A and B are shown apart, each in its own frame.
Chain A
Amino acid sequence: MPHAIRHAFAALSICACTVGAAQADTIHLGAVIPLTGPAAVVGNQEMRGIQFAIDEANAKGGVQGDKVTVQFEDNQAKADQAVLAFNKLVDLQSIPMMFVGYSGPTLAMAPLATRKQVLLVNAGAQADKLSTASPYLVNTLPSTGDEVKVMVKYLLEQGKKKAAVLYENDAPGIGGRDDFVAMFPKAGGTIVAQEPVQFGQTDYRPALLKLAAAKPDVLYVVITAGMPSLVQQIHQMKPDFLVAGSTFAADPAAIADPASNGLIHTQVQIDAPPELAVAFKKKYGADMDFFARQYYNAAQIMLTVLDKLATEKKPITGKNIHDTLFQIHSFHGLIPMVFNTNTATVPIGINEMKDGKDITLKQVTAAQ
């Protein structure tokens, strides 16, 4: 019996050592994004983008021989769920860095990230407050305010002086509304009406009727879900005003619908090389959409940072990842990206939806 116990302890010790060794060879990262609920359509694309980049890196040997894994947690696009997921990843698994998405949940995690020195990398949310929410929150795309600035200038160049605003009653929608309502009149335009809608809502007719009654030259829309229904309902009204939006408007289903013809929107310019897009489609059976490209690019940035940390033999902590990211400063992934502040400087285009395509009319770089 004592022999058996000794053997059992020996076996357990060997197991423990093996697990310890395996953990030393694996870099664990996290992701807190919406995987269920109305925002899951975006969250699943984000997950695929991250996983695709990580799988690619691991197939090539990982980060200097170390495999990388990402543990995905579902925030359901809700702040409370995001905080629970953050605490689980950080307190139980000591994750030093995580990819995040959606403004409300990210803003809820930001103070925790500062306190615990965990780096949050946002590649999809655009609320203005994200730019200054935490030194440990970096954004790989411009804020809504940057996009609005570009759109306001373009609309006034086109002679559109009277604007109505349809916005989602949540952090990104209200942020976009506030920016537009502040910047458009300053640049010489007039806001004639504004109307909120709820996240996930698909019946926009009452709000559209009210806004159309104000006879605007342009309707500026800031909604993150429901674009296919919105473009159909606008088309059914046969409006005599232009419809404009931000990157949120670039829903592939809306672009494919002929009802969206003529809709213009600002667009963070990020394209996937054809071979990458083909490989992605082969793996997931779906096109590599904007959010998949954004998070693929963000994962590439993190892999570059981890590679530098491994070269310099520094421990992988949130602080070291953060400091190294700003040391590298300039990245050349799917798009050139410079981190002068927590929010990267990237090109923004003015696009028009036409016959199932999203055509770039002009391109600028938002000043950060």
Chain B
Amino acid sequence: MILLQLLVNGLVTGCALGVVAISFALIYATTKIFHVAHAGVYTLAGYAAWWSVSHGVPEPLALLVAIVVCAAVGALIQSQLYARLERRRATHLVILIASLGLLAVMQNIIAMVFSPDILQFPIPWSSATVSVGGIRLTWSQVLTLGCCIAAYGGTVWFAYFTTLGKRIRAVAANPFLAEITRLRPHSVYVYVVAIASAIVALPGVLVPLDLGLQPYGGITPLLTATIAMIAGGVGSISGAFLLSIVIAELQNLSLLVMPGEWSIGITFFIFVIFMLFRPTGLFAAAR
């Protein structure tokens, strides 16, 4: 039973990480910017929802507030920071450093406004449990699982079956050609970062609903998601999502055979070996 419970817990964590990974992949594959401040947007989502709920906003509306706030912040970051830096011919390294700086600023502002304490959502039903066949999950975990799988499906549908999605893929594939064919890559970049920020708001709200909010809590999920994106093959939405689940499952199940202090190290060691044999990632050919 412990094996099954660990598997299900890993699936929940993996799906949440998967949504972080696909949103990050969307930005990286299109803009080529290593958007570390995405961790700050992820964190901001939780605080926006927490603030809304604390001020009496109904829970679904609070989630919507978080999504809108994150989309706006994402658009602002791309149009007012990254685009300006690119216009001044800043290298990707300079943009990465700017992104790191922005992350630090966002985290500290959040800590200053909301306090650095670990905050819990004032929603009692979220920590109530439901038991199915001996597997126990909280309602917030159930919600995370459902919403994140839906977000994955929605992102795939958006990327392959909508005009904007196709335009984004065209810009990602060849920005110079996109410029010539008047696909206006720079406005596409703003849309991409806004959409990816809206997507990351989902796990940004649902994970803290279960585990609590921390101003500095976004970095670990982003790092894991980045590794999933690379191992899955940059540009592959399904690869990033699937590999996130695999990483989360490995981290959970490794506890059965070794102490927890080794689980992260061993998991990433396996991925280093894997990358040696397939450096372009698992689903790179599917781009």
User: Hey, which bits of chain A sit against chain B, CB under 8 A?
Assistant: 36-38, 40-41, 44, 169, 194-197, 200, 202-203, 205-207, 209-210, 213, 225-226, 228-229, 232, 235-238, 253, 257, 259
Contact = CB atoms under 8 A, between A and B. Distances in A.
Interface of B: 2, 5-6, 9, 13, 108, 111, 115-118, 120, 127, 129, 136, 138, 211-212, 214, 216-217, 251-252, 255-256, 259-261
16 contacts: A36-B108, A38-B116, A200-B217, A202-B217, A206-B255, A210-B256, A228-B118, A228-B212, A229-B212, A232-B120, A235-B127, A236-B136, A236-B138, A253-B117, A253-B120, A259-B127
A210 B118 contact: no
Given A44-B116, A196-B260, A226-B118, A38 B255 contact: no
Nearest to B213: A202
A240 to B, nearest CB: 14
A235 B2 CA distance: 17
Contact of B120 (A41, A228, A236): A228
Contacts of B127: 232, 235-236, 259
Nearest to A257: B120
B115 A41 contact: yes
Nearest to A226: B118
B253 to A, nearest CB: 9
B136 A37 contact: no
A127 B219 CA distance: 28
A195 B260 contact: yes
Contacts of B5: 209
A8 B2 CA distance: 80
Contacts of A206: 6, 9, 251-252, 255, 260
Closest 9 CB pairs of A and B: A40-B116, A202-B211, A41-B117, A196-B261, A229-B212, A213-B2, A206-B255, A236-B129, A202-B212
B246 to A, nearest CB: 16
A238 B259 CA distance: 23
A202 B255 contact: no
Contacts, number: 78
A209 B6 contact: yes
Contacts of A194: 259
B111 A40 contact: yes
A225 B9 CA distance: 22
A226 B211 CA distance: 9
Contacts of A196: 259-261
Nearest to A227: B118
Contact of B216 (A200, A235, A237): A200
A121 to B, nearest CB: 23
Contacts of B255: 195, 206-207, 209-210
Contacts of B217: 200, 202
A226 B251 CA distance: 20
A209 B118 CA distance: 23
A36 B260 contact: no
A235 B212 CA distance: 15
B2 A202 contact: no
A205 B9 contact: yes
Given A41-B117, A196-B259, A196-B261, A237 B136 contact: yes
B214 A202 contact: yes
A37 B216 contact: yes
A237 B217 CA distance: 24
Contact of B2 (A200, A210, A236): A210
A245 to B, nearest CB: 16
Contacts of B6: 206, 209
Contacts of B13: 203
Contacts of A200: 214, 216-217
A195 B262 CA distance: 11
A209 B116 contact: no
Nearest to A40: B116
A225 B116 contact: no
Given A202-B214, A210-B2, A36 B118 contact: no
A285 to B, nearest CB: 11
Contacts of B212: 202, 226, 228-229
Contacts of B261: 169, 196
Contacts of A37: 116, 216
A63 B234 CA distance: 65
B105 to A, nearest CB: 12
Nearest to A41: B117
Nearest to A251: B118
Nearest to B252: A206
Contacts of A205: 9
Contact of B116 (A36, A238, A257): A36
Contacts of A210: 2, 255-256, 260
A207 B251 CA distance: 11
A202 B136 contact: no
Contacts of A235: 127
A225 B211 CA distance: 13
Nearest to B129: A236
Nearest to B137: A236
B111 A36 contact: yes
A41 B260 contact: no
A40 B116 CA distance: 6
A202 B217 CA distance: 9
A36 B112 CA distance: 9
A229 B116 contact: no
Nearest to A37: B216
B117 A229 contact: no
